[in-house]
Amino acid sequence: MKRRDFIQLTGMSAGAMMLPFSSFGSPVDVSRLLEPMLDAAQKKQLADIALNTTKSLGATYTDVRIGRYLNQFIFTREKKVQNIVNTESFGVGIRVIANGTWGFAASNSVTPDGMKKTAERAVAIAKANSKFQKEPVKLAATPSYGEVSWKTPIVKNGFEVPIKDKVDLLLATNAKALEKGANFVNSIIFLVNEQKYFASSEGSYIDQDIHRILPSFNVNAIDRASGQFKSRPGFSSPVGMGYEYLDGKSEDKINGPGGIILYNKSYDIVEDAGMAAEQVKQMIAAKSVEPGKYDLVLDPSHLWLTIHESVGHPTELDRVLGYEANFAGTSFLTLDKWQTKKFNFGSKQVNVVADKTQVGSLGAVGYDDEGVKCKQWDLIKDGILVNYQAIRDQVNIIGQNESHGCCYSQSWSDVQFQRMANVSLQPGKEQLTPAQMVAGVEKGIYIVKDGSFSIDQQRYNFQFGGVLFFEIKNGKIEGMLKDVAYQANTQEFWNSCSQICDARDYRLGGAFNDGKGQPTQSNAVSHGSATARFNGINVINTGRTI
Amino acid sequence: MAILTKDEAHALLKKVLSYSKADECEVNLNSNDSANIRYARNSVSTSGKVTQSQLVVSSAFGKKLGIATINEFDDASLEKVVRRSEELAKLAPENPEYVPFLGPQTYPDSMMYVQSTADITPKLRADLVAQSLNVAKNAKAVAAGFLEDNTSFNAMMNSKGLFAYNTSTNTNFSVTVRTEDGKGSGYATRGYNDIRKLDTKKTTEIATEKAVKSANAKGIEPGKYTVILEPAAAAVLLERIFFGLDAREADEGRSFLSKAGGGTRLGEKLVDERVNIYSDPMHPDLPTSTWSGDGRLQEKISWIEKGVIKNLSYSRYWAEKKGVKAVPGPDAAIMEGGTKSLEELIAGTKKGVLVTRLWYIRDVDPQSLLLTGLTRDGTFYIENGKIQYPIKNFRFNESPIIMLNNLEELGKVERTVSVESNQNYLLPPLKIRDFTFSSLSDAV
């Protein structure tokens, strides 16, 4: 995950007058956001111009992505609205294979002339690069789907909700936190709509309308006398849903161990802000952890990030092959390990699937950005590494003939490449609740929500913090701890997984800003799990004085 | 949009302002021509050339502010974006923290623009990459790298009469070379405003040498070690201090610069007295813009002097509230160094660890600025003034504030690039005692 985006998102960057995600586009008023710019027939006509141009110049494959990307951000702090921003970005990206080599060009000129020129540029770049190419690109076959469409199944389009309603909700959130004793509170609503049209020289014309939402806050408590301060973020997740995520339905609330409230498919932001203000004061007063080995009970609001970093990334085939060696890194899950069909990534309980179809997830789409119909597949089966995440030009390397459908580009202006699908730990098969799990732990820590995270470039050694840490002694929650981080080796950690709660506890976490590539691109991805137990994990104390 | 001259930018912004009906209006314009080549497995993987332009219009009615942007520049679009920002301003609630726009300012011309970089050709880019690839191939090693160049301009104008203009060029290059068996890995990076200073061959030779020498690393016990951080490794730790200089956060009690009992640590000696950190837009080796995004003059300013926190940065609102000068945050930072080369620092080290690069840096505790991350792409054990053998990578848990209190020696300053933020800095290699490595990593 990229840290820099968080800084931009919270308005803490140096160029204060520049908009967050400024490269993503330009603001528009709401009424204009709701008007379709071009219908599918017009887009097809334009795409065909590009497809014909590249074919005439000798390209053996072409895909055209006409994209309109809409964002809305509302930022508040305490009683003030800091910023309301609508952005729009519209343009086309054309990718070709010529002389066996990829070429890509993009333009915001989505006109017949613009399509032709951009198509010509893509072919020219491919031909120029072909002198460095060692072997020609091999694309796995994919069916031609003809003219099809797909939409995120939303109930309420967040862009249609009046700005005043969203502002009022955030100010009510802040008021609740302040009423309960918070010193400071920031809150945001971030909406995303990707309207993507894909056309390929293989005869697919795919129109998709994708929605995502992130409502959240950050509550601070400060103890002036000691100089200590803590922050407690919202227990929401970014999701692939509409504004209905903010309905905060009672059936989506979960009473977790330690008297906390957690959220599943909808979120009560005001209630959570009140809880946050009370908890953040306890976080300051909490006992500093004694370093040592503990059994960890990890809530899905925390575990998603551990799954993301230690399972999601090392199973990306481009990393395994070395394409990310200069930046994101390579992977310890080398092909020889996979080829043995015996590499025990984790304990027998550990089953991990990759999925681009899961309803409500950030990664859910009908088709990926190279026209492959999306699906679910196994990565880890009964603890054994069984597959990777790979796209059309990679699957031949692992002896497969079908892309996994996880190719993505953050915008029309960036080239698509292999990105992480939703990667999720499957729930346990036996009935088990988090409370029952805690009852079986002698010396442990129950961790809620993701915090600090860091992992090496081959994904062996990681360190994770969290937000709420509860000490477990002889099966009971004893009180809050602070200064907690755990360190482990990925394979040892997943082999220490001894219990996973059942499907009733399964929830999604995720992030909008998983970063990879140079120049870096962001990918939105969810990770599901139920609460899980890991035995004998090394916990360090992170308290320091300066 | 092409790179506009000062006169062309002035005329365009004047036209945008002519459409304004708001109490106050401010317009920022930027355009960036960027091109890159990315390679891996000794072959080009992607390349691209993109021009991105953005016009940002801020309109205010009283204390109600609306912001809109556009990337089309015909008259109708210009008027539309002004109207749109005015509509958003009318929808927005009053912001009690609104500060009226700045009046006219005087700025020196920056030194960021170098014609040779703006004139780069596709052939030169390809040649630079080919030189890098040849080094790796000749060494029977595998290179992955990224070469990027940018030519851009920024301009702003407001209804109070302020006008600012700047052009810049820069190029960043990084390369990771791995041995064919994957047992050794080396890294090097360089950044310049002038492409003529970039030597991809030499940079790749450094990475290749590190890769070859780092193969078959031994594991040594984690613990506290004297370390020599090369400038690229120092950058990712020190920049957390540079990013955290905001006065408001410190005043509000939620910064490592907040003081127990209230107030800030401004004026306090926080680190070793040999530490001097400043920013200077006119530094010939690291020129930056002479004005900030909201039009304030960027001047040479000392942030840490003889170990004392000398200045904090302020938003215009917070400065007005506190009755102090509204000093903008720095665009880059410079740390004063010593006279010794990296080799001389190594030669003077009895026992220690040489760190080429640090990776995946994350805050662990913002109160102490405790960070975690790992060494990567060339970590070596030093004994009796010589590199003895490569060692396995470590995870560290360390605060740059504690680290700068454990300063042993400063080497010669060089320009370097942060792998985390892509920012360029002028930094010396640092020799630090008692640097905390907390566990071993098997990663190469």
Residues A374-402: tens digit of each pLDDT: 999 999 999 999 999 999 999 999 999 99
Q: CA neighbours within 13 Å on the CB side: how many for B153? A: 19
From residue A112, how far is each of A62, A92, A106, B215 by CA, in Å?
A: 17, 12, 14, 54
Nearest to A446 by CA among A458, A457, A437, A433: A437
Contact flag A332-B328 (C-beta cutoff 8 Å): no
The verdict on A295 and A271 lying in the same domain is no
Q: Specify whether the CB–CB gap between A69 and A25 falls below 8 A.
A: yes
**Which among B40, B368, B420 has the least Cβ separation from residue A545?**
B368
Pairing of strands A146-151, A204-223: parallel
The verdict on A266 and A319 lying in the same domain is no
Residue to mutate among A17, A33, A104, with most B CBs inside 10 A, is: A17
Closest approach of A431 to chain B, Cα-based (Å) = 36
Which chain A positions have a beta carbon within 8 Å of B370's beta carbon?
A: 542, 544
CA–CA separation, A8 and B421 (whole Å): 12
The verdict on A216 and A299 lying in the same domain is no
Q: Is residue A12 part of a domain?
A: yes
- % chain B with pLDDT above 70: 100
The whole-chain average pLDDT of chain B stands at: 95
Nearest to B89 by CA among A25, A71, A84: A84
Over residues B32-86, the pLDDT tens digits come to 888 999 999 998 888 877 777 888 999 999 999 888 877 778 898 899 889 988 9
The verdict on A350 and A390 lying in the same domain is yes
Nearest to B439 by CA among A110, A488, A10: A488
Choice between A524 and B88, residue whose per-residue pLDDT is larger: A524
Over residues B329-369, the pLDDT tens digits come to 999 999 999 999 999 999 999 999 999 999 999 999 999 99
Tokens (6 digits) for A384: 């054994």
* A430: Cα separation from own chain's centroid: 29
The verdict on A202 and A293 lying in the same domain is no
- % chain B with pLDDT above 90: 89
φ, ψ for residue A308, nearest 5 deg: -55, -50
Contact flag A132-B133 (C-beta cutoff 8 Å): yes
CA–CA separation, B7 and B16 (whole Å): 14
Q: Specify whether the CB–CB gap between B371 and B397 falls below 8 A.
A: yes
Q: Is residue A77 part of a domain?
A: yes
Which band of pLDDT confidence, cut at 50, 70 and 90, is reported for residue A35? low
CA–CA separation, B208 and A390 (whole Å): 29
The verdict on A115 and A164 lying in the same domain is yes
Strand partners, A422: A355
pLDDT of A32? 56
The verdict on A16 and A160 lying in the same domain is yes
Which band of pLDDT confidence, cut at 50, 70 and 90, is reported for residue A86? confident
Pairing of strands A260-263, A384-385: unpaired
Q: Alpha helix locations (H) across B323-381?
A: 342-347
Contacts with B115 (C-beta within 8 Å, 6 or more apart), sequence order: none
Contacts with A251 (C-beta within 8 Å, 6 or more apart), sequence order: none
Residue range A68-96: average pLDDT? 89
Residue range A520-543: average pLDDT? 97
**Which among B36, B67, B367 has the least Cβ separation from residue A19?**
B67
pLDDT of A20? 31
Nearest to A288 by CA among A125, A468, A482: A482
Which band of pLDDT confidence, cut at 50, 70 and 90, is reported for residue A34? low
CA–CA separation, B166 and B105 (whole Å): 14
pLDDT of A8? 34
Place of tokens 């309420």: A156
Q: Is pLDDT of B311 > 70?
A: yes
CA–CA separation, B362 and A542 (whole Å): 13
Q: Specify whether the CB–CB gap between A215 and A269 falls below 8 A.
A: yes
DSSP-derived secondary structure letter, A246: G
pLDDT of A351? 98
Which chain A positions have a beta carbon within 8 Å of B69's beta carbon?
A: 19, 22, 25-27, 87
Residue type, B394: F
Contact flag A454-B374 (C-beta cutoff 8 Å): yes
The verdict on A318 and A437 lying in the same domain is yes
Residue range B202-211: average pLDDT? 98
Q: Is residue A250 part of a domain?
A: yes
The verdict on A261 and A316 lying in the same domain is no
Residue A259 exposed, middle or buried by CB count within 10 Å (0-12, 13-18, 19+): exposed
Q: Is pLDDT of B394 > 90?
A: yes
Q: Is residue A439 part of a domain?
A: yes
Contacts with A264 (C-beta within 8 Å, 6 or more apart), sequence order: A252, A253, A254, A507
Among A285, A314, A329, the domain-final residue is A285
Q: Is residue A546 part of a domain?
A: no
Residue type, A383: G
CA–CA separation, A508 and A525 (whole Å): 10
Would you say the C-alpha torsion B350, B190, B398, B441 has a positive or negative sign? Answer: negative
Which band of pLDDT confidence, cut at 50, 70 and 90, is reported for residue A460? very high
Q: Is residue B83 part of a domain?
A: yes
Q: Is residue B81 part of a domain?
A: yes
* Residue of chain B whose Cα is closest to the Cα of A107: B50
CATH of residue B44's domain is 3.30.2290.10
From residue B103, how far is each of A355, B20, B163 by CA, in Å?
A: 55, 17, 9
pLDDT of A6? 30
For chain A, positions 121-180, list CB contacts with chain B under 8 A: 125, 128-129, 131-134, 163, 167
* B215: Cα separation from own chain's centroid: 31
Residue to mutate among A170, A326, A417, with most B CBs inside 10 A, is: A326
A-B C-beta contacts closer than 8 Å: 258
Residue range B93-108: average pLDDT? 95
Which band of pLDDT confidence, cut at 50, 70 and 90, is reported for residue A12? very low
Contact flag B420-A4 (C-beta cutoff 8 Å): yes
Q: Is pLDDT of A1 > 70?
A: no
The verdict on A301 and A252 lying in the same domain is no
Beta strands in A53-154 (DSSP E): 61-77, 80-98, 101-107, 146-151
The verdict on A350 and A393 lying in the same domain is yes
Contact flag B54-A465 (C-beta cutoff 8 Å): no
Q: Is residue B28 part of a domain?
A: yes
Among A285, A311, A332, the domain-final residue is A285
What residue numbers bound the domain in which B55 lies?
A: 6-162
CA–CA separation, A57 and A342 (whole Å): 48
Place of tokens 């407690």: A232
Q: For chain B, how many structural domains are there in total?
A: 1
Q: For chain A, how many structural domains are there in total?
A: 2
* Burial profile A87-121: b = 16 or more Cβ within 10 angstroms, e = fewer: bbbbbbbbbbbbbebbbbbbbbebeeebbbbbbbb
- % chain A with pLDDT above 90: 86
The verdict on A361 and A445 lying in the same domain is yes
Over residues A96-150, the pLDDT tens digits come to 999 999 999 988 888 999 999 999 999 998 998 888 787 899 999 999 999 999 9
Residue range B230-237: average pLDDT? 98
φ, ψ for residue A444, nearest 5 deg: -155, 180
What residue numbers bound the domain in which A312 lies?
A: 288-541
Q: Is residue A437 part of a domain?
A: yes
Q: What is the pTM of this model?
A: 0.94
CA–CA separation, A272 and A10 (whole Å): 20
Among A259, A285, A311, the domain-final residue is A285
A454 touches chain B (CB under 8 A): yes
- % chain A with pLDDT above 70: 93
* A334: Cα separation from own chain's centroid: 24
The whole-chain average pLDDT of chain A stands at: 92
From residue B246, how far is each of B130, B187, B255, B275 by CA, in Å?
A: 44, 33, 8, 19
Q: Is residue B1 part of a domain?
A: no
Q: Specify whether the CB–CB gap between A154 and A254 falls below 8 A.
A: no
Helix (H) or strand (E) holding A466: none
